[in-house]
Amino acid sequence: MCVNIMLICAEEMKKTMKEIHERLDKVSPVDFDCGTLCGEVCCVYDKEHSDEELMLYLMPGEELLYEDNAYFELYTIASNAPDYPDDWEDNIFVVKCTSPPECDRRLRPIQCKTFPLIPHISIEGEFHLVFDESEYPYVCPLVNENRKLEDDFINETYSVWKMLINNPVVYDLVKIDSRRRNEKKVEYRIVK
Ligand code: SF4
Ligand code: SF4
């Protein structure tokens, strides 16, 4: 019985994650390939500037989409890893991009599909999308030059993240990052 319930939950979760991915595939930050502005630095920075592999964390349930795809390797890290909420008890899934900047575009993780917008919860508890250059070690021209992003990209990204933070562990993760931004007095810009 329990196994059956878990299977149904996993199927539902996979369907929801697939729908989110498909919604995000229909929008793009700008109406041209922004990788031409920077040499796709957000994909290749780690490979070119450090010994670290490019790893992206996944939303709970998103890991169900990553079965046997040559462009991604799925890993788990302990739920007590630094920077993750205490109540995130299940394993945390991350994917390694095996040959960046090439990948299966349809399967880019949500945090990649919604970049360079970053979810933020204000001290008053309001949800926003922000530009925050302190989040990564390279320069993203879209953020650095404060470029106007496509409205449908902003709106779809907002709607998806608003839905994702209904999950308490995602909410806590976004909140932890947001408070860190406030404590370090990071300059960020609210986009929506
Ligand atoms: S999102 Fe920013 S860093 Fe990434 S490819 Fe586009 S312009 Fe470059
Ligand atoms: S998933 Fe694709 S687009 Fe995203 S960082 Fe990896 S290689 Fe780049």
**Given ligand 1 and candidates 43, 140, 147, which is best to mutate, with the most ligand atoms within 8 Å of its CB?**
140
Tell me the average pLDDT across 187-191: 91
How far is residue 124 from each of residues 145, 155, 182, measured CA to CA in Å?
Answer: 28, 21, 12
For 36-50, write each residue's pLDDT tens digit.
999 999 999 887 777
Does the pLDDT at position 179 exceed 70? yes
* 35 pocket-lining for ligand 1 (C-beta < 6 Å): yes
- pLDDT number for residue 7: 60
| 4 pLDDT tier (thresholds 50, 70, 90) | low
Dist. CA 108 → ligand 2 center (Å): 6
For 47-78, write each residue's pLDDT tens digit.
777 777 778 889 988 999 998 889 999 998 87
Does the pLDDT at position 132 exceed 90? no
Contacts of 131 (CB under 8 A, 6+ apart): 116, 117, 118, 143, 146, 188, 189, 191
* 41 pocket-lining for ligand 1 (C-beta < 6 Å): yes
